[in-house]
A and B are shown apart, each in its own frame.
Chain A
Amino acid sequence: MSDAARGPEVPANETLSRAITSRDWWVAAENRVSSAAFAFPVFSVDVASLATSEQTLTRFRSGSGMVQFESGPARQLGFDARIERDENFPANLAHANVYCDLPKGERKRRAQQLLSLTSVVRAPALG
């Protein structure tokens, strides 16, 4: 998607919430999230000022976890958050897509750098 076709930028001071919906995305031995939750050209988040953690998590499997990061520092790494419609949950007005416009050969490194900016709100407890 071209930059012009995207929704409005999420302001730099906003916090973004990413649900951890698979136990495979959680490295239990290290108590941290796997980059597999982020290493994509585009992924979904909620803007924390528009939806509480509980509101976000109600849309996902019981036991899902959550991590958060700030929009501004993430954008500096190449993760561009845009307010856009939630295709899976159209009633979710807090939704943003995060675009990673970097070449494929840099995505894993940048995902690790993004991980260093994330804080764990809730560790997943998925079976």
Chain B
Amino acid sequence: MSITIAAIYENGVLRPRQPLELAEGTEVRLTISAPVGRRQPEVERSLDAEIERLAALKPNWDGYGGPAINDDILDAARRFAARLAAHIVEPPLVVPMSSGALQFEWHKGRRILELEVEDPVTIHYLKWDPTEGVQEEDVFGIDDTEKAVALIGWFTGAGANV
């Protein structure tokens, strides 16, 4: 028997979005794939809220004299996040940088993905998993959604290597 269902990942547990006709205790095998192109309002709201929180940071927010997050970078990050939200299963941390930039970070064990909105047109990324020999760092244009989606897919294990 093989069926395809939608599920949501919360607090370390996959919860089906509809009832399953399975006997209690039935063991199943899962193949997980990320939703493609489907709006995820909760992810959008979460990213928006995090970006707005960083927008409110005052100069010297880090105690080391760091500037407020750059307005142009914030605008670019909002647009970038809006395009990506439909492809994000695990919301990232949204992290301020002492340079006035911000980055989206995903962490799972030693696997790390960083997408830094370095300037309004550039994403500086790190794709990192030393246990698999992956230590890739490079830049791409902020409008290259396909590249960003592929990197997120790599992190979640839902996409091909890029």
Where the two chains meet, the residues of A that have a C-beta atom closer than 8 Å to any C-beta of B are 19, 21-22, 24-25, 27, 29-30, 32, 34-36, 39-40, 43-44, 59-61, 64, 87-88, 104-109, 112
- Number of residue pairs spanning A and B whose beta carbons lie under 8 angstroms apart: 70
In the bound complex, do residue B65 and residue A40 qualify as a contact, i.e. CB atoms below 8 Å apart?
no
B123 to nearest A CB, angstroms?
12
Which 3 pairs of residues, A with B, have the shortest CB-CB distance? A108-B126, A21-B63, A60-B63
Within 8 A of A (CB), among B35-69: 54, 61-65
In the bound complex, do residue B107 and residue A105 qualify as a contact, i.e. CB atoms below 8 Å apart?
no
Residues in B with CB closer than 8 Å to A107 are 137
Given contacts A36-B95, A104-B124, A112-B112, 16 further A-B contacts (CB under 8 A): A25-B95, A32-B107, A34-B95, A36-B97, A40-B97, A43-B64, A43-B98, A59-B63, A61-B63, A88-B64, A105-B124, A105-B138, A105-B139, A108-B126, A108-B128, A112-B135
Map CB proximity to A onto B68-111 as digits: 1 under 8 Å, 0 otherwise.
00000000000000000000000001111111000101011100
Where the two chains meet, the residues of B that have a C-beta atom closer than 8 Å to any C-beta of A are 54, 61-65, 93-99, 103, 105, 107-109, 112, 114, 116, 124-126, 128, 135, 137-139
Q: How far is the CA of A36 from the CA of B107 in the complex (A)?
A: 13
In the bound complex, do residue A22 and residue B135 qualify as a contact, i.e. CB atoms below 8 Å apart?
no
Beyond A21-B64, A104-B124, A112-B126, whether A36 also contacts B96 by CB under 8 A is yes
In the bound complex, do residue A112 and residue B96 qualify as a contact, i.e. CB atoms below 8 Å apart?
no
Q: Which single residue of chain A is at the shortest CB-CB distance from B138?
A: A105
